[in-house]
Amino acid sequence: TFNGTWKVDRSDNYDKFMEHMGVNVVKRKLAAHDSLKIIIQQDGNKFVVKESSTFRTKDIEFTLGVAFDYSLADGTELNGSWETDGDKLVGKFSRKDNGKVLTTVRDIVGGEMVQSYSYEGVDAKRIFKKE
């Protein structure tokens, strides 16, 4: 289960990934220490996600398989949805500005939540510990 409070512990290739997404160096430096915390409450197909970081706090509600809008901390707007694939959550989102696809997967590995991101052939990971 994904329910709980997850604090980012470490990231892999996240700077490169953000660079590929077009995030400028100042924001990338800040994002490297964003203290991202994600509180996930799943009830059947419905999710409430409370995101907080040094950039902002944001509440997101979505239903599996139903597209919704989401904006990244730098203002980039996405539209897409999450679905399940076995025990994983798979998100497929498109950027509204250029139509390009960002996919993301959440998986629990050894008690940690691993979130992978993929955009135009560049992959990154952020690994969260349960609080």
15-44 residues near ligand MYR, rule: CB under 6 A: 18, 21, 23, 38
Minimal distance, residue 111 CB to ligand MYR, in Å = 20
CB 101 within 8 A of CB 93: yes
Closest approach, Cβ 110 to ligand MYR, in A, equals 21
Closest CA to 124 of 1, 20, 2, 5: 20
Residue numbers 54-73 binding ligand MYR by CB under 6 A: 60, 70, 72
Distances (CA, A) of 2 to 7, 17, 51, 109: 13, 24, 14, 11
Residue list 72-131, contact with ligand MYR (CB under 6 A) = 72, 91, 93, 102, 104, 117
What is the Cα–Cα distance from 20 to 50, expressed in whole angstroms? Answer: 26
Per CB under 6 A, residues contacting ligand MYR are 18, 21, 23, 38, 49, 51, 60, 70, 72, 91, 93, 102, 104, 117
